[in-house]
Amino acid sequence: MNELTRPSPALLPWAPERSGGAWPADAPPPAGPPDPGPPDAGLLDAGPPGFGSPDSGPAELGPPNPAPLEPGSPEAPPPPRRPGLRDALWLPLRLAWRQLRAEKARLASAIAGVMFACVLVFMQLGFRAALFESATALLSAMRADIFLMHPLTIVSFKPEPLPRLRASQALALPEVAAAVPVYLTQATWRNPETGVRRAMQLVGFDTEAGVMDIPGLAPLAEALKRPDTMAFDIRSRPEFGPVARLLAERGPFEVQLGHRMLEVVGLVEIGPSFGADGNVVMSELNFRRVVKERLPSQVDLVAIRLRPGADRDAAIARLREFLPPDVMVLSQPQLVQHERNYWENATPIGFIFMFGSLMGLVVGMVIVYQILFSDIASHLKEYATLKAMGYSNFYLGRVVLGAALLLAVLGFVPGFVLSVFLYDVVGKGTFLPLAMDAARGFGVFAMIFAMCAAAGLLAMRKLRDANPADMF
């Protein structure tokens, strides 16, 4: 029995990967139709020896061999065109799209899988970013230049007391314009309508010093100097009551905070965090009235404002030189990063959100891999036919990767739109700062594209089975 021989791996002259401006060496040269000559030319050449021209040699039967034409001559066909970048990308992409479109149910399943992974990654990263932003909202609202904090303070809502004397010592630097002590603690707030108590973050400092640049605080500086007054954070959770509406209807009104009645004179904007659902701002004197057990010589932070034109980094270096080791000198971005590090490293919340994002990518990659693998398996004979026609494995691999790219785009677009809608719904329900930004959008698209590309590379192994000698 004759055995089938495997085709030669060399590409055929008409294969799409064949490049170059001239015909390959192993292919027959192009030739035009032979010139028939005059009607009796063949007879003259076919006559016996000595027939015809006296000095002609022995004639042979058949037409003469035509001379090969030069590639540049008018009679020669044009040489094969080198495929450009557009053809190298567009042709496999078009074939991949037609292949995906042929199975609409399978295409819908693949798009749904990519969209699920996209939404899951978006939500996990959004929750993680909202966690860090809300946890540092209070410190981000403090617009001082430099802060002094106890080295053992790991998070703002559990501060270690700092000697108030350090604020006076900081004033020894000529570039320091003001050093204001800041007091932080939590007390119970009684809802003015329902009477329900809830924990509230208290922030006390000298409101007329001009060191803290909390939004909405400047117009209330004079009113907060009065005894038993405070400003309510308008971004606090609604469980504290409709404070903004009551303030608009009644004007300043009294609310029980801790064991004392204080008057709400205005609104500021800070935002809730994972440590506190709401905030109130008051003067240092009113803070001591509410928290009577706090010693006046103990503070939680010292906010420092520098003189115009002063070098902040140089001032930080000088403060670290002459202040005792029981003080940590930080800039405002460093203070925010210190708070962020606690939630990211000292708690499992940051790891959980990142792990959820990775699991979403893994699930999406498995779904895309199964779709591509089954698509290749169902069209294995077609792939073998393309190989027999001269298409290489590299070209067919581009087809598979093109299908993966199409699935990434088709799944990302609806996933992005759905994630923006869910951000708005969840943000309004939880009062977390959930918002879509361009950096996160491009980052998630890059992850989705890498996920689909990895699934395509894994599915390309199935192309090895597309052997024409085994299929036919």
Q: Point out the least confidently predicted range of 32-41, 163-172, 222-231.
A: 32-41
Task: Note the pLDDT of residue 347.
Answer: 79
Tell if the pTM clears 0.95, that is, is over it: no
Per-residue pLDDT at 150? 92
More confident residue, 244 or 276: 244
Domain boundaries, the chain: 85-132+349-471, 151-326
pLDDT score recorded for residue 55 = 45
pLDDT at 149: 93
Q: Flag whether pLDDT at 467 surpasses 50.
A: yes
Please report the pLDDT score of residue 147 as a whole number.
94
Mean pLDDT of the chain: 80
> What is residue 395's predicted lDDT score, i.e. its pLDDT?
80
Length of the chain: 472
pLDDT the model gives residue 77: 63
State pLDDT tens for residues 137-175. Answer: 888 878 789 999 999 998 887 888 899 999 999 999 999
Query: What is the pLDDT at residue 218?
Result: 87
Please tell me the predicted confidence (pLDDT) of residue 418: 94
